[in-house]
Amino acid sequence: MRRRKRIKDSEHKNRGVYVIPNLVTSLNMFCGFFGIIMALRGQFTHAAWAVIAAGVFDNLDGKIARATNTTSKFGVEYDSLSDLVSFGMAPALIMYMWALQDFGRLGWLVAFLFLACGALRLARFNTQVGVVSSDHFVGLPIPAGAGMAMVTILLCYNDDLKLLTTAHPAPPYSILILIMMFLLAFLMVSTISYESFKNKELATKKKSLSTFTTALLVIILIVYKPDIMLFIVGVTYVLSGPAVMVWKHVAAPKKAAVPPGAANNKGGETEKPADTPA
């Protein structure tokens, strides 16, 4: 009887879900859906902020699950589905309605490409959990790709820059946005390495006062000019992957060209073996 009761309790536990982390994941999906509704109403800045808010909840749900030891396979799958809505479907529709409609078939095909590559990126990430180091992402994370698209909307509506004189971008801005969406889709399915900022040393290891001051200054600037600073942060992160990859390819041949032991030689003289005692 006791054994049957334990089996029933175990089955009941497996059928249950952890409320808090999955509730935060639901807020992530809600923000993405809300962004779509705002885009249908033509309120594109509200739509952009909704997707950015979804990114905040997406960052929180995993941390809450790990901190409370409530991680589960259900939560992983639910998180991926929510991410596809918030960072795949929502940005694709928002960008199509905002800037890509005038391109006709090409516009909605590029929007679909962004969605499809985002789905592939999520599927690849799920298959690499526990196999690939968590210190780096393989390919641009889908929240970063969606965030880059959304901060572009915020930048274009900035009151100081006044990049747009109409509700929707016109050439050449619309052409640049089309190219940007294509590049973001490519970066998501690429094998370019991106920093994940999940290294424990970033949070536990002591840093210099200048590092703390720089981080504080960046936060202040983001609060002061969120649209401009978020765009700069987004561009910096998106370009960081290709930049590091190019740097490694340039630096590696130079290191390989240095002959072994050359660093120990001085003035071109070779080291002589020490005399051994008779």
Instruction: Report residue 274 as tokens.
Output: 């020490």
pLDDT at residue 11, rounded to an integer: 47
Residue 114 near residue 91, CB atoms below 8 Å: yes
**C-alpha to C-alpha distance for 4 and 171, rounded to whole angstroms:** 70
What the chain holds in terms of domains, given with CATH numbers, is 13-198 (1.20.120.1760)
pLDDT band at 211 (very low <50, low <70, confident <90, very high): confident
Does the CA dihedral 144-150-153-157 come out positive or negative?
Answer: negative
pLDDT at residue 10, rounded to an integer: 46
Strand partners, 194: 137
Q: Is the pLDDT assigned to residue 210 strictly greater than 50?
A: yes
Give me the amino acid identity at 215: A
Least trusted range by pLDDT, from 14-28, 37-51, 70-84, 250-264: 250-264
Beta strands in the chain, from DSSP E residues, in sequence order? 136-138, 193-195
What three-state secondary structure class fits 140?
A: coil
Nearest-CA neighbor of 87 among 61, 63, 55, 116? 55
**C-alpha to C-alpha distance for 269 and 241, rounded to whole angstroms:** 41
pLDDT at residue 167, rounded to an integer: 83
Residue 187 near residue 137, CB atoms below 8 Å: no
pLDDT digits (tens, 9 = 90+) for 150-176: 999 999 999 888 888 788 898 899 999
Percent of the chain's residues with pLDDT above 70: 80
Q: Is the pLDDT assigned to residue 95 strictly greater than 90?
A: yes
**C-alpha to C-alpha distance for 126 and 236, rounded to whole angstroms:** 26
Q: What is the biggest distance separating any 2 CA atoms in the chain, rounded to whole angstroms?
A: 94
Mean pLDDT, the chain, as a whole number?
Answer: 85
Q: 197 to each of 5, 202, 220, 237, 240, how far by Cα in Å?
A: 44, 7, 20, 12, 13
pLDDT at residue 7, rounded to an integer: 47
pLDDT at residue 115, rounded to an integer: 98
By DSSP bridging, strand 136-138 and strand 193-195 are antiparallel
Q: Which residue has the tokens 């985002």?
A: 118
**C-alpha to C-alpha distance for 7 and 93, rounded to whole angstroms:** 47
Q: Is the pLDDT assigned to residue 135 strictly greater than 90?
A: no
Name which residue leads in pLDDT, 251 or 14.
251
Residues in Cβ contact with 26 at an 8 Å cutoff, skipping those fewer than 6 apart? 82
Name which residue leads in pLDDT, 166 or 226.
226
pLDDT at residue 2, rounded to an integer: 55
